[in-house]
Chains A and B, each alone.
Chain A
Amino acid sequence: MVSTAPETTHALCRADAIGEGQARGFPRTPGARQKVIVLRKGGRLHGWLDSCPHYAGGTPMAWKTDRYLNGEGTHLACHSHGAQFDMETGDCVVGPCLGQRLTRVRLETGADGMVRLAED
């Protein structure tokens, strides 16, 4: 999908910087603490708020910079209490937030190859 967003808006990363089965975190807005997780699964990019639904406020999920996946690389994981989430649907499949899901962040890839938050 080609972005309609002006190319001056905050770019998260280059689309080709995220390989299949990889996940990385980027500040949601320049300098923000809140991150957006960008991952590629089945060839498609997905964006998720780096915010575990276990606690109402939402807490960051990596154990170290960009370390968002479980050991096998099959699921997004919250490294607080081990909750695991489907990489494509955001559904929690095991852990304290069973029945809840991650908040999707819609992404767009621009003609310049950069990934940005989609404009609503």
Chain B
Amino acid sequence: MNIIGPDYLVFGVDDLASSAEYLTDFGLTPVDVDATGGLFEALDGTGIIIRAKSDPSLPDPLPTATMLRQQVYGVVAPEDIDAIAAELGKDRRVTRLADGSIETTDVHGFALKFQVTRRRPLSMPAEKINAPGAPAQRAPNELGVFPGKPAQPRTLSHHVLFVPDQDAARDFYCDRLGFVVTDVLKPAGPFLRPRANDDHHTLFFITTPEYMKGLEHLAFHMGGPTELMLAGTRLVNKGYQSFWGPGRHKFGSNWFWYFNSPLGTHFEYDADMDKHDDSWVAREAMLTPKASQVFLFEAQRRWMPGPDPKGIVEDEGTPEW
């Protein structure tokens, strides 16, 4: 079962216009979007699909606050879909759609879809840095920051579910769908990596009461920490609400910056996540602020020491980089 990871996360929202504004400012590109919603995609074609919460084309909502309506997984080949259909068909309803994809639900009732991935292969350099002792990554006269420097989400990275029973969730995704546990934060839950993806995690669970079942956050990979900081700063400058970060996680080593959203979940920029193979032995740690992050910063209004008599020059209304 060669599952790559989430191609799309599908939402039923109570404010399509605000959600569209948010997703666009987050850096996603609207594709086929009209008054009924549509897909907002990252550079590789993965992304977020929004519809009105009353849209009859959506799977039923969970009886909680979450607006997440479906997780669409990309797999490598049609044979993988057949294998998933055979396995999950043993104890749950699996519906085959005209395009060959299948729909079903997981052990907690979250709606799932599996399709041959629609991801476009990305071919672009990682963020380039220069360091003494190492070959320069940027050529002479090639600048690190410059006006209009791109900082767009490259691909849908991972999402995190609030679930009442983390063991049941782990067993479903690992035993039935071939995910592996890469690390565990106790008592919250495990990080999971699907078979056809070497990222530290595409899925993480946080144990919560039943009435909280839903989506804690979702994340997109950026090209590096500077892109992450730049994209986040652009959001802050537009008035968006930072929730946590920027900082760097320990498990996964990824940089992070989380923002509130009108889709009832956090949107995270992440960058530079660890890669793993089957020789990796999962670690365990207690979930504490120290275990969660190496460091944590908070954005502030840009200022500088300078010639101004007050010693501070406020930086407002300057052209945005």
Q: Contacting chain B: which of A2-10, A11-19, A90-98, A109-117?
A: A90-98
- Taken residue by residue from 62 to 78, chain A's Cβ proximity to chain B (1 for < 8 Å, 0 otherwise) reads as 11110100111000011
**Does residue A106 face the partner (Cβ distance < 8 Å to B)?**
no
The answer, among A63, A72, A82, for a CB contact under 8 Å with B241, is A63
Say yes or no: B212 contacts A81, CB within 8 Å.
Answer: yes
**Does residue B321 face the partner (Cβ distance < 8 Å to A)?**
no
The answer, among B22, B211, B214, for a CB contact under 8 Å with A63, is B22
Say yes or no: A64 contacts B240, CB within 8 Å.
Answer: yes
A92's closest neighbor in chain B, by CB?
B65
Q: Contacting chain A: which of B97-105, B111-119, B185-193, B259-267?
A: B259-267
**Chain B: interface residue total (CB-CB under 8 A):** 28
Tell me the smallest distance from the CB of B218 to a CB of chain A, in Å: 12
The answer, among A63, A80, A81, A84, for a CB contact under 8 Å with B240, is A63
Say yes or no: A62 contacts B15, CB within 8 Å.
Answer: no
Say yes or no: B214 contacts A67, CB within 8 Å.
Answer: no
Number of contacts between A and B (CB, 8 Å)?
72
Say yes or no: A79 contacts B239, CB within 8 Å.
Answer: no
Tell me the smallest distance from the CB of B138 to a CB of chain A, in Å: 35
Question: A64-B240, A94-B64 are known contacts. Are A79 and B212 too (CB-CB below 8 A)?
Answer: no
Q: Which residues of B contact A83 (CB under 8 A)?
A: 65
B212's closest neighbor in chain A, by CB?
A96
Say yes or no: B238 contacts A81, CB within 8 Å.
Answer: no
- Taken residue by residue from 249 to 270, chain B's Cβ proximity to chain A (1 for < 8 Å, 0 otherwise) reads as 0000000000111101110000
Binding site for B on A (CB under 8 A): 59-65, 67, 70-72, 77-84, 94-96, 98
Binding site for A on B (CB under 8 A): 13-15, 18, 22, 64-67, 162, 208, 211-212, 214-216, 238-241, 243, 259-262, 264-266
